Amino acid sequence: MTVTVAAQYADGRQRYGAVPVAADRAGASFTVTDAPAVVAGPVQAEVPKSPYGVRAPEGDLSSAVGKFLAA
């Protein structure tokens, strides 16, 4: 199994590494089985246009819930 990890530097740069690991049957413990390899980071997925006409303010949960219940 391989786990991808990210490291963020103080200047904001990020690097990604693929770390090969082996886990026990219960998944309670694991060990790294080889050196990590530098890999490309994930790409940002395209977000489809929302089918909803009303937008709730970002970060304002009470307003979003109120608009939902009013609808």
Q: Closest Cα to residue 21, out of 11, 34, 37, 5?
A: 34
Mean pLDDT to the nearest integer, 43-57? 81
* Single pTM value for the model: 0.53
- pLDDT tens-digit map of 7-47: 999 999 999 999 999 999 998 999 999 999 999 988 889 98
